[in-house]
Amino acid sequence: MVVRKRGDQATIILNSDCTIVDAESDADTLRSLSGNFKKYTVDAGDVAEIDTAYLQILLSLKATAEHNNVTLDFVKMSDAFRETLAVYGINLSA
């Protein structure tokens, strides 16, 4: 995961492998961003694999953003990312 910060916005660029291997460190990175920005953009364009552990992190990010009235957008979602969301019946844009 790479985070690019600009003013009150942060862009989170997901790696190609979003799995339990990186889940803890990436969750820590996201927690460190909490409360510091008014808008978050998650770029999922390079995701080739995502597992449930990592998906939980993104769902938590979404819930936290909603709770804090912060904008969160998912962009450039790869086919693998979209397919995983569909399997679990998840809509991250809602």
- pLDDT tens for 63-93 read 999 999 999 999 999 999 999 999 999 988 7
Task: Give the mean model confidence (pLDDT) for residues 49-70.
Answer: 94
Ramachandran region, residue 89 (left: φ > 0; alpha: ψ -120 to 50; beta: rest): left
The DSSP 8-state label assigned to residue 19 in this structure reads S
CATH placement of domain 2-88: 3.30.750.24
Structure tokens at 89: 């019946």
Torsion of CA 58, 62, 63, 65, to 10 degrees: 130
Q: Any idea where the domains of the chain sit in the sequence? A: 2-88
pLDDT in tens, 27-47: 999 999 988 899 999 999 999
